[in-house]
Amino acid sequence: MPVHRLQVGLLGLVACLPSTSVASILDLPRTSGEITIDGVIDEAAWGDAALFDIDIETRPGENTPAPVKTVAYLVEDGDSLYIAFDAKDPDPSKIRAYLRDRDTAWNDDFVGLVVDTYGDERRAFEFFVNPLGVQMDLTNDDVNGNEDDSWDAIWDSAGRIGDDGYVVEIEIPLNQLRFPRVEGKQTWGIDLLRFYPRAHRYRLSNNAQDRNVNCYLCQFQKVQGLEDVEPGRDLEIVPTLTASQVDTTSDPGIVPLQSGDADAEFGLNVRWGITPDLTANLAINPDFSQVEADVAQLDVNNQFALFFPEKRPFFLEGADYFRTPVRAVFTRTVADPSVGTKLTGKRGNNTFGVFVAQDEITNLIFPGAFGSDSESLAQENTSFVGRYSRSFGDASTVGALLTARSGDDYHNTVGGVDLRWKITDQHSVQAQYLKSDTEYPLTVATDFEQPLDSFDGHAAFAGYDYDSRNWFAYVRHQERSRGFRADSGFVPQVDTSQQIVGLGRIWHGDDDDWYSRLQLNGDWDIAHDDDGRLLEKEIEAYFNVEGPMQSYLEFGGLTRDVLFDDVLFHEDKISFFAEFQPRGGLLLGVWSRVGDQIDFANTRLGDEVRVDPFFTWNIGRHLLVRYDGVFVQLDRKDGARIFDAAVQDVRLTWQFSVRSFLRLTTQFQDIERNPDSYTDTVDRRSRDVGRQLLYSYKINPQTVFFLGYSDALIDDDDLSGLTTTDRTWFLKIGYAWMP
């Protein structure tokens, strides 16, 4: 599947290149004056601020003079950190700025900062704002190379476009940050950034960067200040009201929709910053449902369970604390909890996180070497996850993980250790070992052909990485034994051991080159099951280029042998990916693949053509159209059709302001099969349609109002047309009270 590189892939935008040597430590001044966040730098308190020139282009140029002038102002008052950006532009009419929901303005002009509040070059907070005041915030785990925009803080920002550019003002309350308790002054690392998207996406900074060093936070400009800061009582109490009314039918097309009773539930979420580096969360009778519809995925000719990202606020707090090479923690396995508690923190070199949830539903994945099944049990379970890591050396850590779920005649426990060792600026090693112990209820074990008694298994990962300016290489070994289960995580394939070796070369363009970056890379991998049978042997190679109009093109292919249903198949595939922005507010792209593909339903090799188009289009500042499509055609080798399948996700959003929007989402899945090409009886055609109309108003990430309607329709050979299967009205109100 393609990745929309200019919408996500935030590491590529923010942290793809590391810093060079650190300048001397600068003082962060304190002011006693008041600052109003309105996009105008006119308060006297700004006269106390330290000034920084954002005058270095780090991408696509390599530490060259910035093409535009930007000045940043930094000052604090003991309670908040204030930042202002005066971003000059020779042609303000070309500024790319649109009204959007938070965390979605990555294709716009924007400014912001990355701040390493512990000064240990391991973890940082990121705050960005577009010229209209749209907020984007993230956490940056530089040790594991992860950047996560699911984290949301409560802070203030404003932006204004003028005759010579734009101005952004930001206030970040210190109680939204985590930092160590120290006597005297804090020492933080800071990177001040401006993204200037025109023919290329220019990344401008106050820090030069050395592309031969594979860390980002390691050599930020250091600032010193916030002397004896006491951020005050960090307490957020968020009562919520969730109301819904659902109409359903037990037999679509035969039994009409039955109106359900209106249901209203009150919940409570509490976030308490016990200290600046220790946070507790409590959720009582929470509404853990997500408001936004997941992106539609095509569910045909798949071997394994589909992955959907977490979006629920309770689980997003400190989510990066629980991340390890093996995905042993996946919080969407907690489906309907009645209560949840969490504690996350960092003390010196020690980082830890714990959460416990009482769940009314037990979701299970039964993994295998060739596919996975799933089941949802209407029985309670208690989930526990604990994670600890200790840092040492330069950006190195050693850690431990324990997860446990238990219910009636059921338990799953996973425990193990992990290591990330940064040997030098170019060389690093990662490793993890996990052991599991599992027992299913007898009926579940019988129905899904699982062991009848308690059984165990293990998972392991070991990897070496080399990263430099022009070359990168990696070696991986990963295994999941037949008995390994991670019911608090997402591990859909077991009974496999895989080895991977990869190599890549990068060429950086100069100012007079038509391209900004070229890359050639490939890898070889081989996998066996626990009995030593070959599961897969593959060689793949790809060439990509970044060029004008923020374009990215990639050509590639692979050849592999794959075992399925005791038959060894040989597949050859070629693929193409392209995306570009011909103008501001318009992103166009497509990913396509042609070649051999196993028909898993009938155990044979077919010919596949797959095309995935996508685009986002801002029609003016308020209206956004987003489209994602998947079209797949699979034929037998004799040319007869097996199936045509398509899934399309269309979203129309009218953004009234930075706080409110109205969104219509429509998702279609249409599958046409040729029954003559199937060994089992199948529907000739099946269709699914899902629709959602959502109004959202957010004062901040916790003070929210949602009102929506959704329905679902299906059609198959037994129905005369699209038939409604359910219909839902819902309302959610949350208010963040900070006494």
Task: Give the model confidence (pLDDT) of 516-557 as tens digits.
Answer: 999 999 999 999 999 999 999 999 999 999 999 999 999 999
437 pLDDT above the threshold of 80: yes
CB 26 within 8 A of CB 225: no
Alpha-carbon gap, residue 663 to 675, rounded angstroms: 38
442 pLDDT above the threshold of 90: yes
pLDDT band at 640 (very low <50, low <70, confident <90, very high): very high
CB 270 within 8 A of CB 281: yes
Q: What is the pLDDT of residue 233?
A: 63
Phi, psi of 413 (to 5 degrees): -125, 135
Alpha-carbon gap, residue 16 to 205, rounded angstroms: 13
Alpha-carbon gap, residue 335 to 739, rounded angstroms: 31
Note the pTM of the prediction, 2 decimals.
Answer: 0.89
Higher-confidence position of 23 and 145: 145
Neighbouring-strand partners of residue 647? 630, 669
Start-to-end CA distance of the chain, whole Å, equals 46
Mean pLDDT of the chain: 91
Mean pLDDT score, 432-446 = 97
Is residue 531 exposed (0-12), middle (13-18) or buried (19+ Cβ within 10 Å)? exposed
CA 350, 237, 173, 68: dihedral to nearest 10 degrees?
Answer: 100
Mean pLDDT score, 671-691 = 95
Q: What is the pLDDT of residue 611?
A: 98
Alpha-carbon gap, residue 416 to 410, rounded angstroms: 21
Here the tokens at position 68 are: 């535009």
Q: What is the pLDDT of residue 738?
A: 86
Alpha-carbon gap, residue 556 to 577, rounded angstroms: 9
Q: What is the pLDDT of residue 295?
A: 62
CA triple 223-127-663, angle to 5 deg: 175
**Beta strand 135-141 pairing with 146-148:** antiparallel
How far apart, in Å, are the Cα atoms of 619 and each of 144, 321, 603, 663, 702? Answer: 38, 39, 47, 15, 29
Phi, psi of 47 (to 5 degrees): -70, -15
Mean pLDDT score, 331-360 = 90
For the segment 600-639, what is each residue's pLDDT rounded down to a tens digit?
999 999 999 999 999 999 999 999 999 999 999 999 999 9
Q: Is residue 419 part of a domain?
A: no
Here the tokens at position 100 are: 């959007």
267 pLDDT above the threshold of 50: yes
Q: What is the pLDDT of residue 25?
A: 87
Q: Residue 223 carries which side chain, given as an amino acid letter?
A: V
Identify the helix (H) or strand (E) that includes residue 202.
strand 201-205
Return all residues near 305 (Cβ < 8 A) that are at least 6 apart.
365, 372, 374, 490, 492
Q: Is residue 396 part of a domain?
A: no
Here the tokens at position 571 are: 């597949």
559 pLDDT above the threshold of 80: yes
Q: What is the pLDDT of residue 3?
A: 37
CA triple 728-729-730, angle to 5 deg: 115
Q: Is residue 702 part of a domain?
A: no
15 pLDDT above the threshold of 70: no
CB 697 within 8 A of CB 704: yes
455 pLDDT above the threshold of 80: yes
CB 179 within 8 A of CB 345: no
CB 488 within 8 A of CB 328: yes
pLDDT band at 305 (very low <50, low <70, confident <90, very high): confident
1 pLDDT above the threshold of 50: no
pLDDT band at 402 (very low <50, low <70, confident <90, very high): very high
Residue 195 neighbours by CB distance under 10 Å = 22
Residue written as tokens 């009218």? 654
Higher-confidence position of 20 and 251: 251
Higher-confidence position of 306 and 212: 212
pLDDT band at 143 (very low <50, low <70, confident <90, very high): confident
Q: What is the CATH number of the domain that holds 172?
A: 2.60.40.1190
CB 313 within 8 A of CB 292: no
Q: Is residue 148 part of a domain?
A: yes
Q: Closest Cα to residue 358, out of 378, 383, 379?
A: 383
Helices (H), 506-545: none
Phi, psi of 331 (to 5 degrees): -70, -10
CB 686 within 8 A of CB 653: no
Mean pLDDT score, 4-25 = 41
Q: What is the pLDDT of residue 231?
A: 58
CB 405 within 8 A of CB 385: no
Q: What is the pLDDT of residue 312?
A: 72
Share of the chain above pLDDT 90, in %: 75
Alpha-carbon gap, residue 350 to 359, rounded angstroms: 30
Q: Is residue 679 part of a domain?
A: no
Q: What is the pLDDT of residue 145?
A: 80
Alpha-carbon gap, residue 410 to 363, rounded angstroms: 12
Alpha-carbon gap, residue 5 to 11, rounded angstroms: 10
State which of 232-236, 284-288, 363-367 shows the largest mean pLDDT: 363-367
Q: Which domain holds residue 217?
A: 10-225
Name the domain count of the chain: 1
How far apart, in Å, are the Cα atoms of 642 and each of 31, 387, 592, 604? Answer: 71, 47, 19, 11
**Beta strand 685-698 pairing with 704-715:** antiparallel
Q: Residue 372 carries which side chain, given as an amino acid letter?
A: S
Mean pLDDT score, 234-258 = 89
Residue written as tokens 């790809």? 542
CA atoms within 13 A on the CB side of 72: 25
20 pLDDT above the threshold of 50: no
How far apart, in Å, are the Cα atoms of 152 and each of 48, 315, 588, 702? Answer: 29, 12, 28, 9
The string of DSSP letters for 361-380 reads SEEEEEEBSS-EEEEEESS-
469 pLDDT above the threshold of 90: yes
Mean pLDDT score, 364-386 = 93
CB 419 within 8 A of CB 453: no
Buried b (16+ CB within 10 A) or exposed e, 442-462: eebbeeeebeeeebebebbbb
Alpha-carbon gap, residue 53 to 204, rounded angstroms: 10
Residue written as tokens 């053509």? 609
14 pLDDT above the threshold of 70: no
Return the beta strands (E) in 44-185 as ranges: 50-53, 56-59, 64-65, 70-76, 80-88, 110-116, 123-129, 135-141, 146-148, 156-162, 165-173
Query: Using H for helix, E for strand and C for coil, what is the string for 625-687?
Result: EEEEEEEEEEEECCCCEEEEEEEEEEEEEEECCCCEEEEEEEEEEEEEECHHHCCCCCCCEEE
Q: What is the pLDDT of residue 512?
A: 86
78 pLDDT above the threshold of 70: yes
8 pLDDT above the threshold of 50: no
Q: Is residue 393 part of a domain?
A: no
Alpha-carbon gap, residue 32 to 182, rounded angstroms: 22
Q: Is residue 511 part of a domain?
A: no
Alpha-carbon gap, residue 558 to 502, rounded angstroms: 13
Alpha-carbon gap, residue 239 to 702, rounded angstroms: 10
Q: Is residue 74 part of a domain?
A: yes
CA triple 246-247-248, angle to 5 deg: 115
Residue written as tokens 């853990």? 288
pLDDT band at 290 (very low <50, low <70, confident <90, very high): low
